[in-house]
Amino acid sequence: MSGILQGRVAIITGAGGGLGAAHAKVFASEGCAVVVNDINTEAAQSVVDEIIAAGGKAVVNSSDITNYDDSLNAIKQALESYGDLHIVLNNAGVNRDRMFASMTEQEWDTIMAVHLKGHFCISSHAVHYWRGRSKEGKPVDARIINTTSGAGLQGSIGQSNYAAAKAGIAALTLNQAAELGRYNITANAVAPSARTGMTSAVPEMAERMAKPEDGSFDHFAPENVSNLLAWLASAEAESVTGRVFEAEGGRICICDGWRTTAGVDSGAAWAPAEIGAAMKALLAEEVPAQKVWGT
């Protein structure tokens, strides 16, 4: 198979279903050899079988992305199977939705482990591999692609754990881009809006995102997001780094992050009683943030 990812090798986490499976199939259709990572090996094997049947290259990997030592095996498998690694696409995720006042420690920790730590583990080992190649004078053209969410960019009622983890992933992406460019590694994140197993489990979302029966453009097809990620993973995207994108249907946006305003400056320490007037001036000049989802 030929395409913009011909000759490249990717690890895609959580690729046994939903967005991850779509990413794996689109990447493979563009010529990429794919390590399909998922703890559900049966689901991962089904994706691999479909890719191979279509003429692509793929293998199953069941490394636990929340376990630092075990996640190294994904990198080892990529190198043993295909001789190199160019792309880590961090996609795996779970939900443990709960209002903050009712959230348990376990619900908090599970989301942080799968999303935030999960984005760290495999990427860390991949970076060690790429940095080593760079120091040896070998060519590196590597990609880290992270998955954030509108919940992380603006908050989401009933998802404080998920929102906090996804916000952390956005900030992590900026740091990775700033630190890893010297090794020819780019880092970008995407906040997708697409039909997945998680959205299908919510009746109102399932109805809104349903595939049209009339054959018209499938706005919420996960492949719409995958196509952007395939381009970001390609050699053509070598100069694009440190960005957070939103992708929905045929629309691609760059998310404009936190920015410092001009502010007010007294030139000296504020007395507590003086801050009320300063705050009034600050709030009068602010550009309101996007509203938290669900408000």
Domains annotated for the chain, with CATH where assigned, are 9-254 (3.40.50.720)
pLDDT of residue 206: 58
Catalogue the long-range contacts made by 254-258 (C-beta closer than 8 Å, 24 or more residues apart).
255/153, 255/170, 255/191, 257/170, 257/174
Of 64, 97, 62, 102, which is closest to residue 201 (Cα–Cα)?
97
> Can 117 be counted among the known catalytic residues?
no
CA 244, CA 148: separation in Å to the nearest integer? Answer: 8
Q: How far apart are CA 219 and CA 114, in angstroms?
A: 28
Q: Does residue 166 have an active-site annotation?
A: yes
Look at residue 189 in the predicted model and tell me its pLDDT.
Answer: 96
- Per-residue pLDDT at 190: 96
Spot the catalytic one: 149, 156, 160, 234: 149
pTM attached to this predicted model: 0.92
Among 63, 117, 166, 226, which one carries the catalytic annotation? Answer: 166
- Residue recorded with tokens 């390590």: 35
Residue pair 96/160 in contact (Cβ under 8 Å)? The answer is no
Marked catalytic residue, from 117, 123, 160, 162: 162
Q: Which residues of the chain have pLDDT under 50?
A: none
pLDDT in the model for residue 258: 85
pLDDT for residue 93: 84
The answer to whether 1 touches 79, Cβ cutoff 8 Å, is: no
What is the model's pLDDT at position 186? 98
**pLDDT for the residue numbered 163:** 92
149 is catalytic: yes
